[in-house]
Amino acid sequence: MPELTRLSNDDTVDDVITALERDGGVVIEGFLHAESLAGLRDDLLPLLERKAEGRDRFAGLQTRRLGALFAHTRHCAAIATHPLYLPAAQHFLCRPRDVWVGDRRRPMAADVRIGVTQAIQIGPGQAAQPLHRDDTVFLWRHPTGGHEGRVQVICAVTDFTAENGGTLVIPGSHLWDDERQPQTSETIPTVMKAGSALIFLGSTFHAGGANVTAHEWRAAASLALDASNVRQEENMYLALEREVVASYPEEIQRLLGWSAGANHMGWVEVDGQMIDPIHLLRGLDGATLRGVGAHGHEPAAA
Ligand SMILES: O=C(O)CCC(=O)C(=O)O
Ligand SMILES: [Fe+2]
């Protein structure tokens, strides 16, 4: 079984890009400085412990999730701008495409945005998550022809082992088409120390691993950099006050972007669940908000 390449902060962005192009994923040992790791642990673990477990197989019935990480810790900034992560993500996400503007044909490139932040804590008894590609939220097609929509990083906040839920990855699966079904037998677990990180392309099949330990909770801080073209052109969330949006019929509210749709793009975390933001316009309290499942791979758990 092919292993993922293991690099460190002494290696170069080119080494990261080479590994990602070949395997779709790479481990960076010692990715976080000690201060960032300690900060993430102190800021996120107490919050995760107060979250309810997920309500469907994808979110994980023994898994706790926390979103909006930039509101909860200052230490995500160092992840997003890490010198081995951001430039590597830009390499995959910002490839120019030739477009016509009037009588001139010229290259135009997207830049990058932070598309999702999530702390994920996998508890004892959690089964392996269904294998998936994270660019499924964009309904991205494969092979990508070199144009990726997302580059993800999962930082180990506690040690990742094959037993406690270390992320399962299928090396090389970023090159597969959309017909080939991923098999558990093709996966390798990501084993790494707290402070190390797994970087992978949005087109790489992966899943949270099963946690077969008796007492260990595996914690991660994950973040995705996305191509900036996969969003609304006008920033409706800044342009329109929430009360204005709430005054329109639901159809308009969803069209304005207050919707997570069948692919669950645009969820917001409430009480550990990734919910459709339309519920926030209805003024429901957290207890009555219905879980919508993670990333749209599972129907809502009614
Ligand atoms: O927790 C992990 O290791 C991976 C989780 C994941 O891939 C997801 O929730 O999309
Ligand atoms: Fe994922």
Domain boundaries, the chain: 6-96+109-227, 236-288
* Residue 99: strand pairing partners: 106
In whole angstroms, give the CA distance from residue 118 to residue 67: 5
Query: What separation in Å is there between the alpha carbon of 221 and the centre of ligand 1?
Result: 10
DSSP per-residue codes, 128-185: PPPPB-GGGGGT--SS-TT--SEEEEEEESS-B-TTBTPPEE-TTGGG--SSPPP-GG
Residue range 200-211: average pLDDT? 98
pLDDT digits 0-9 by tens, 50-62: 999 999 999 999 9
Class of domain 6-96+109-227: mainly beta
pLDDT digits 0-9 by tens, 90-104: 999 999 999 999 999
Instruction: Verify whether ligand 1 is closer than 6 Å to residue 167 (CB atom).
Output: yes
Residue minimizing CA distance to atom 5 of ligand 1: 208
Instruction: Please give the mean pLDDT across all residues of the chain.
Output: 92
| Predicted local confidence at residue 2, as pLDDT | 80
pLDDT category, 1, cuts 50, 70, 90?
low
Instruction: Verify whether ligand 1 is closer than 6 Å to residue 191 (CB atom).
Output: no
Among 122, 154, 164, the mutation site with the greatest number of ligand 1 atoms within 8 A of its Cβ is 154
In whole angstroms, give the CA distance from residue 281 to residue 4: 44
pLDDT digits 0-9 by tens, 271-301: 899 999 999 998 766 556 544 443 333 433 3
Among 56, 66, 120, 217, the mutation site with the greatest number of ligand 1 atoms within 8 A of its Cβ is 120
